[in-house]
Chain A
Amino acid sequence: MNILIIEDEPLIRKSLVKLLERAGATTTAEALGEKALDKIRNNSYDRIVCDLMLSDITGFDIIEGSKVYYTAEKVSAMFIIITAYSSEQVLERAKSYGCKLIQKPFDNITDVIEQIMEPI
C-alpha cells in the first residue's frame, strides 16, 4: 500500500511513517502543503493521511487541489483527515468531503494504524 503522510509536526510525522512501515506500507512524508500537492500530481497513492493545519495551506486546500486529478468519490475514499480541531464548522466541512476524520491526540495508536491500513 502506497501512503502519503502530510503533517508538519516532526515527531508525529516520523512516528506515523515508522508505524505504517512496520505494518507493511510504503510511505512518503511531506510537511509542506504545496509540496504535497506536487507529489499528489506526480504520483499515485492508495491513501493520503492529511493534517488540517499545515504551515502553508490547509488540509482542505489539499483536498480541493486533489479534485483536479481524481474524482470526488476517489478523493473521499483516499483521504484520512487528522486534526486537533473539534469545532462544529471543521467537522461539518470534513463531512461534506465524505472523508474519514480522526481526532488528535489518538486514543489508541494501534486502532488508528489499522484504520489507515484498511484496504480501499
Chain B
Amino acid sequence: MQEYEVQRRIRNYFTEPQDVPETPSYTIKSYLSLLSSLKISADSIKMQRRIKKYCELQKSLSNCHDLLRIPELILQQSSFNNFQSCQILIHKKGGQVVKSLFFHQNHLQDSSLPVAIFNKISLTIKKSKNKRFDQGNLDLHGLEILGPFLAQVLDSEKYNSIIVISHNGFLPPSHEEEDDFYHFINKLSPFLSDLIYQNEIKDRNSIANQIINNIPFAFQVNKDEKIIHNSGKREPYDTHYDLSNNHEYRTEKLNLKSSSQHYHTERVHLLGELLNTLKHELMNPLFGLNLGIQMLEAPENEEDTKLFLDEMLLSVSRSQNILNNFSTLYNDTNHSEHINIEQLISEVITLTKSETKHIKKNITISEEIIVKINKTSLSQIIFNMIVNAAQSIKHKYPNDSYGLINIDIYREKNECIICISDNGTGIKEDILKKIFTPFFTTKEHGTGLGLTICQSLINKSNGAITIVNNKNGGATFEIRLKDCK
C-alpha cells in the first residue's frame, strides 16, 4: 500500500472524532492495532516505525502553537534522543534580517543574523552532495551547533528556513537518524510556515503595543468590544524610542520635536555639502573671469571698453558674493560671532530675490547694531521669515505688485528687535496657536518645519519670537535677540 495512502487513512483516523478510542493516550499498542486494522503486513517494520513517528509528530504539533518551542520539540522526538542541540534559521523573503532559534541544554537563544550569512549556509547545504556536514570543517558563521550535523533547507512561499540538529559530539549521525531527520522535516514543513507566520504576528503585535503605550498623550480607542487606551505619560524632550534592536520593523521616533530637529539637521547637512561642491566648482571659473578682465584693462582702452570691463568685474563680484552668502546660510558650525544686523539682512534679501520679485522691501534702522549670534542660524531665520511673508503676499495679491515687506530694526537696552511686517493675508486666530508646531502647515507642499526650526534656533540663541496680525491686514513677526551692542 502506498505510504501516502497510509498517511491519509491515519489522518482521517485522527480527524474523525467517532473513531478516536476512549483512552486519549496513544500507546504503541493502539498504533499497532490501528495498523492491523489497516491490514498492513507486520513485515513492513520500517513503515510501521515511520507511521509511529508521524503520529508522534502530529501529537506534538497539535499541542504546540508556538514557533519558539519547535527546536525543543524536535529534540524531544524519540528519533532524536541523542541529539543535543537544534537550530532553526528563518528568513522572511525580502527581509534583511534572519531570525535564529537555537535550543541547547534546555535553553532557547533567540537572535538575529544578516541575510548574507543565512544565504551562505543555505548554499552550502544545498550544494552538498552527500549531505554530511561537519561544523568543525565548515565553520559556518551563524551556526551555534558543534561537530557533525544534519541540515535541511525548506523553501516555502513566504519564508526560507534552515533546520539543523547536532549531537554536538565527534561522531556523525547514523543512517537511521539521517533517514528519520529527512522524513521528519518533510512532515514538519507544512506546519512550519503557519507557525512562523503566527510568531510574526505576535512580534508585530508586541511592537505595536509598545508604540501605543509610549505615545506621549492619552487616548482611548474602542474597536469591536476591545478598548485600547494609553496612559499618556510624558517623556522628556529629547528621548526617542528605538524599537528596532534586531528586527527589520521600522522604528518610530515618537517625539515630534526631536525628530523635526533631526530632519532639519540632516537637510542642512546635505544642502551644505551640495553648496560646498557648487561653490568650489564655480569659484575657479569666476576667479578666472576676474583675472581675465583685469588683464584686458589697459590705459589705452576706449571709454566703452572701460565701461564694459568695469561692469563685467562687478558681475563677477556679485556672483562670488551670492556663493559666499549661500554658504553662510547652510554652514554647519555652531560658533557665534559679532554680526552687523543691517548687513546680514541685506545679504539674506539678495538670496530671496526669486521669491520676492515685485515686492517692495524697506529696511529701517537708526543706528549700527551688532549682535553676537551664530551667523548661519540668524540667516536661516531671516530667510525663512521673508519667504513666508512673500508667500503670504503672493496669496493675497497673485497678479499685482502691491506687496510690501517692512523690516524695522531697533535696539532696546541690550536687546535687538527685528520686526518683519507684510501686507499679505495675515494669520487666522486658530492657526496662530498651532503655527510653531512641527509638521503643521497650511501650504500644499509645505514641510511644516520652517517656523518650528526658526523657533528652536531663536531659543538656542536665547531670543524670542512673537507674531501679531496687523490692523490693516498682513502679519508682523517680531524677533528679539540678546547680546546686542
Contact = CB atoms under 8 A, between A and B. Distances in A.
Contact of B283 (A14, A19, A84): A84
Interface of A: 9-12, 14-16, 18-19, 53, 84-85, 104-106, 109
Contacts of B285: 9, 11
Interface stretch (B43-51, B180-188, B291-299): B291-299
A37 to B, nearest CB: 22
A41 to B, nearest CB: 27
A109 B283 contact: no
Given A84-B280, A104-B283, A105-B287, A11 B292 contact: yes
Chain A binding surface, main DSSP class = helix
Nearest to A85: B280
A29 to B, nearest CB: 14
B290 A18 contact: no
B283 A15 contact: no
Which bracket fits the contact residues of B?
10 to 19
Contacts of B294: 15, 109
Contacts of A53: 280
Interface in B277-310: 280, 283-292, 294-295
A9 B290 CA distance: 12
B295 A105 contact: no
A85 B285 CA distance: 15
Chain B binding surface, main DSSP class = helix
Contact of A104 (B284, B289, B295): B284
A15 B285 CA distance: 13
27 contacts: A9-B285, A9-B287, A9-B288, A10-B288, A11-B287, A11-B288, A11-B291, A12-B284, A12-B288, A12-B291, A14-B292, A14-B295, A15-B288, A15-B291, A15-B292, A19-B295, A53-B280, A84-B283, A84-B284, A84-B287, A104-B283, A104-B284, A104-B287, A105-B283, A105-B286, A105-B287, A109-B291
B77 interface: no
Contact of B289 (A11, A106, A109): A11
A109 B287 CA distance: 11
B320 interface: yes
Nearest to A84: B283
Contacts of A18: 295
A7 B289 CA distance: 15
Contacts, number: 42
Contacts of A85: 280
A2 to B, nearest CB: 22
Given A12-B284, A18-B295, A105-B290, 15 more contacts: A9-B284, A9-B287, A9-B288, A11-B289, A14-B292, A15-B288, A15-B295, A19-B295, A53-B280, A84-B287, A104-B283, A104-B287, A105-B286, A105-B287, A106-B287
Contacts of A19: 295
B295 to A, nearest CB: 5
Q: What are the 3 A-B residue pairs with the smallest beta carbon separation, nearest first?
A: A11-B288, A15-B291, A105-B287
Nearest to B288: A11
Given A84-B280, A105-B320, A12 B287 contact: yes
Nearest to B292: A11
A105 B317 CA distance: 11
A11 B291 CA distance: 7
B129 to A, nearest CB: 53
A16 B289 CA distance: 13
A10 B292 CA distance: 10
A106 B320 CA distance: 12
A16 B288 CA distance: 10
Nearest to B286: A105
A93 to B, nearest CB: 17
A5 to B, nearest CB: 13
A51 to B, nearest CB: 9
A19 to B, nearest CB: 8
A97 B391 CA distance: 53
A25 to B, nearest CB: 16
Contacts of A104: 283-284, 287
A5 B347 CA distance: 36
Interface in B287-341: 287-292, 294-295, 320
Nearest to A105: B287
Contacts of B280: 53, 84-85
A79 B294 CA distance: 25
Contacts of B288: 9-12, 15
A60 to B, nearest CB: 17
Interface in B250-292: 280, 283-292
A84 B323 CA distance: 13
A37 B295 CA distance: 28
Contacts of B320: 105
Nearest to A22: B295
A44 B313 CA distance: 37
A53 B279 CA distance: 14
Contacts of B289: 11
Contacts of A9: 284-285, 287-288
A16 B280 CA distance: 20
Nearest to B282: A84
A86 to B, nearest CB: 10
Contacts of A109: 291, 294
Contacts of B292: 11, 14-15
A19 B284 CA distance: 18
A12 B290 CA distance: 9
Contacts of A12: 284, 287-288, 291
A105 B291 CA distance: 9
